[in-house]
Amino acid sequence: MVNREEVLSVLSKVVDPELGRDVVSLGMVQDIEVEREKVTLTLNLTTPACPLRERLEKETRDAVYSLKGVKEVAIKVSSKVFSTRNDSQDLLPGVKNIVAVASGKGGVGKSTIAVNLACSLSLAGAKVGLLDSDIYGPNIPKMMGIDHELRTENGMIVPATAYNVKVMSIGFIYKGETPLIWRGPLISGAVKQMLGQVNWGELDYLIIDLPPGTGDVPLTVAQNVPLGGVVVVTTPQEAAVSIAAKSVSMFRRLGIPIVGIVENMSYFVCRKCGEKTYPFSSGGGREMAARLNENFLGDVPISEGIREGCDSGRPVVVFSPNTHEATALKEISFRVAGVMSILAYSKMAF
């Protein structure tokens, strides 16, 4: 019969390729039990949305099977999300990772990506919040299908919940079509309130959907919120890419890590003939990521399903999870979670 030490010894050769360290010293292997020819263990991943989940599970299983005398291996996969926080701020103390979704240009799909990112991480099993920081054009309530009446509890605002995601938006306060005509300080105040006076509770990921550009709100968020990273969205054409690059440059200057670049509206596949066309050119986001030496997180097609999902408050990753476009969005969300784990790991002292 093998013993615990032998199991740990073979598993210390299974390396998480992203973190460059073995699963034993990362503390991922727990609850090893050996019962005659059967080994049971828990593999505790750094996020439930782990892009390497299947690979790590297989390598762990194969390693244990390589021990002489082992006939059965049972692995329970669980997760404990790493935190990118090492600030001492009182703001959002229960939130492990704060991720902003930004872009220089308007209308490239930031809110669409933010909504599907939040829902996808939540579906994977993470605790997720979504803050709509677009004061002038809050559209997250519509995209998440929420009509929420704000209320407070113990002096804190209670966020809405949809698809297991906690949501806050200025749209819950100012409804209808009357435009807000606020200037800088008021806007900054509102954003700070939605962060600090909302009971977000314990979250693995808080996604902040930013308005376009490098104006008041993105700056307020970047300077006042302990952001773990920023996802930059662009469409492929030169006009969008060059402005998105400015956004990257702003966040870099403020010392905020760029999680990576998403290329939205990359291509269109005709439903009738299957022909793939490129209405907004192609590859601009991928090229931008390579040029700026940032991660490319993936591309998302132009799809009726995505647009309909946004308009009807039924995000495509929740309601049509097996479509090509939902798969693309889910893969991006797993890459985001993977990069956040790497960023968290780089801050940890082992």
Ligand X SMILES: Nc1ncnc2c1ncn2[C@@H]1O[C@H](COP(=O)(O)OP(=O)(O)OP(=O)(O)O)[C@@H](O)[C@H]1O
Residue placing its CB nearer to Mg ion in the complex, 87 or 308: 308
CA nearest to 190, candidates 221, 167, 212, 214: 221
- Quote the least distance from Cβ 278 to ligand X, whole Å: 13
Residue placing its CB nearer to Mg ion in the complex, 50 or 98: 98
Stretch that binds ligand X, among 21-29, 56-64, 184-192, 305-313 (CB under 6 A): 305-313
Tell me which of 59, 132, 134, 204 binds ligand X, using CB under 6 A: 134
Binding partner of residue 112 among ligand X, Mg ion, none, CB cut-off 5 to 8 Å per kind:
ligand X
Residue 300 binds ligand X, judged by CB under 6 A: yes
Tell me which of 137, 196, 283, 321 binds ligand X, using CB under 6 A: 137
Stretch that binds ligand X, among 195-203, 215-223, 246-254, 296-304 (CB under 6 A): 296-304
- The encoded tokens of residue 217 equal 């709100």
Rg of the Cα atoms in the chain = 22
CA dihedral 248, 252, 255, 256 (to 10 degrees): 20
CA distances from 107 to 82, 92, 350 (A): 32, 29, 43
Beta bridge partners of 268: 277
Residue placing its CB nearer to ligand X in the complex, 23 or 114: 114
- The encoded tokens of residue 311 equal 């308009």
DSSP code string of 27-64: T-EEEEEEETTEEEEEEEES-TT-TTHHHHHHHHHHHH
E strand or H helix at 337: helix 324-347
- Quote the least distance from Cβ 135 to Mg ion, whole Å: 11
Residue 133 binds Mg ion, judged by CB under 5 A: no
Chain residues that interact with Mg ion, rule: CB under 5 A: 110-111
Which parts of this chain interact with ligand X (CB under 6 A)?
103, 106-112, 134, 137, 139, 211-212, 264-265, 300, 302-303, 306-307, 310
